[in-house]
Structure 1
């Protein structure tokens, strides 16, 4: 795959599985939507137009094609404000067809985990995201090396098996 492929393109080309592992407690602290959430704004799940965004249509399209889309988040507890925000805005992802689970970090101690968040498409193509210490995305890279994709696939599955489904998880 060409290195310049975007997340959206990789998902559009995906045939079977797309898994996403998130391991940070903070992302993009300067996000205006996060600022609005901190100021008290909450999405109105009854007003789809207020929370629907193009990314969610990408998920719908993939799931409609038969792709299983799963996201696992490893979180410290008590959770950061940013993780509480992510928790609050996850229902649209679920409505789009994504499966989401949460794993408290204390339950991940004995798991071998990669050093970066990633997407893995069809078990063969990794999209690695690199973030600054403040949680801003710096860049991404695509990796197709079988040893690395296998490590990440195994790490994701280990997390997924222990993680709590979104509907059962309550942030501490």
Structure 2
């Protein structure tokens, strides 16, 4: 496994990719979400739309207007954890910005053999595999470009995407999530 790289050192991929940026999110919660200014708002029952002041939303919109795709599949427990409910609520703004976010119950992900780690796959050629501790803190990432890692990530993407449900449709299955 290559050396651990700080996540900030790979942030250029989110502008430099040519066609697709695809993510698998497997965690039950992320420490970074607890630091979000939206966390207290979420706890008061708010949902979040597109925010032009958000650097993430602006970049997604800019990239998708160029014809690029931002996609992700999020694993969700039954019932969803608080962190997963936050992602469902905050994900609405990401979808409005141009991301295609889909959700898949963890039990279905396990049934089809999806892994329990997070990664980004850029242009079906570079895998950014997260190393996350037990508290949901990202410790760093591994940048993988070897054929075996990339092909495996593409297989995971295809299987997850095939079985996952678009966010707005998924919300009807989990009405108390937002």
Aligned to 2:12: 9
Aligned to 1:119: 120
Distance (Å, rounded) in 2 between the aligned partners of 1:22 and 1:130:
12
Aligned to 1:31: 35
Q: Structure 1 residues 13 and 115 mapped into 2: Cα distance closer, same or farther (>3 Å)?
A: same
1:104 matched to 2:108? The reply is no
Distance (Å, rounded) in 2 between the aligned partners of 1:10 and 1:78:
34
Matches within 5 A, 1:83-102: 83-102=84-103
Deviations along 1:3-38, whole A, 9 cap, x unmatched? 677443102111111101001111116424364135
Q: Deviation above 4 Å: which 4+ runs of structure 1?
A: none
- Give the TM-score normalised by the residue count of structure 1: 0.86
Distance (Å, rounded) in 1 between the aligned partners of 2:168 and 2:42:
23
Deviations along 1:124-165, whole A, 9 cap, x unmatched? 011111111010111112110111111011111101111111
Gap regions ≥5 residues in structure 1: none
Q: Structure 1 residues 68 and 30 mapped into 2: Cα distance closer, same or farther (>3 Å)?
A: closer
CA RMSD of the aligned region, Å?
Answer: 2.2
Matches within 5 A, 1:6-85: 6-28=9-31, 30-33=34-37, 35-37=39-41, 39-40=43-44, 42-43=46-47, 45=49, 48=51, 52-85=53-86
Aligned to 2:139: 138
Gap regions ≥5 residues in structure 2: none
Q: Which has the higher helix share?
A: 2
Contact 1:15 1:66 in 2 (8 A): no
Contact 2:48 2:90 in 1 (8 A): no
Deviation at residue 111 of structure 1 after TM alignment: 2.1
